[in-house]
């Protein structure tokens, strides 16, 4: 599966902790991330991560483009709802695309853990089945 990992500045350390805790589940998948988040994940975990631009420089839009091309299966976007983001319209557009294309999206650590445990148990295989029908 293609999994995107995104985190606002105040959530980057939490994303690193999440990827360390779930490294064995994430390892067999293709990982994508926005700039700094991807760099920090790679440094901490040794996981291979394809890095896009940072969010404010278009990384959210790059991931959104892959969603619209049916090339993304799961998004973990640890958002900071208490800090204004200069690229908030891009964030909103990314969330909208996940809804339009029925891509599982976690915006907090609790939901991220549920999705990763579901991935481990095979509960997210429906994306592969749907892709094969196209």
Selecting among 9, 60, 99, 125, the annotated active-site residue is: 60
Beta strand extents in the chain (DSSP E only): 2-7, 30-33, 49-51, 74-78, 105-106
Q: What residues contact 129, with CB distance under 8 A and at least 6 apart? A: none
Instruction: Identify the residue whose tokens are 């295989």.
Output: 125
Q: Is 73 among the residues known to form the active site?
A: no
Instruction: Identify the residue whose tokens are 């483009």.
Output: 65
Cα dihedral sign, 19-86-81-92: negative
DSSP-assigned letters across all residues of 108-128: SHHHHHHHHHHHHHTTTTHHH
Catalytic residue IDs: 60
């Amino acid at each position: 599966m293609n999994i995107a990992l995104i985190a606002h500045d105040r959530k980057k350390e939490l994303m690193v902790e999440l990827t360390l805790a779930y490294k064995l589940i994430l390892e067999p998948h293709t990982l994508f991330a926005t700039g700094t988040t991807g760099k920090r994940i790679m440094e901490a975990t040794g996981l291979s991560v394809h890095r896009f631009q940072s969010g404010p420089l278009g990384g959210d839009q790059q991931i959104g483009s892959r969603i619209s091309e049916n090339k993304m299966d799961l998004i973990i976007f640890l958002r900071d709802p208490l800090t204004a983001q200069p690229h908030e319209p891009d964030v909103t557009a990314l969330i909208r695309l996940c809804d339009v294309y029925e891509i599982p999206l976690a915006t907090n650590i609790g939901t991220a853990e549920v999705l990763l445990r579901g991935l481990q148990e095979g509960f997210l295989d429906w994306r592969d089945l749907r892709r094969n029908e196209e």
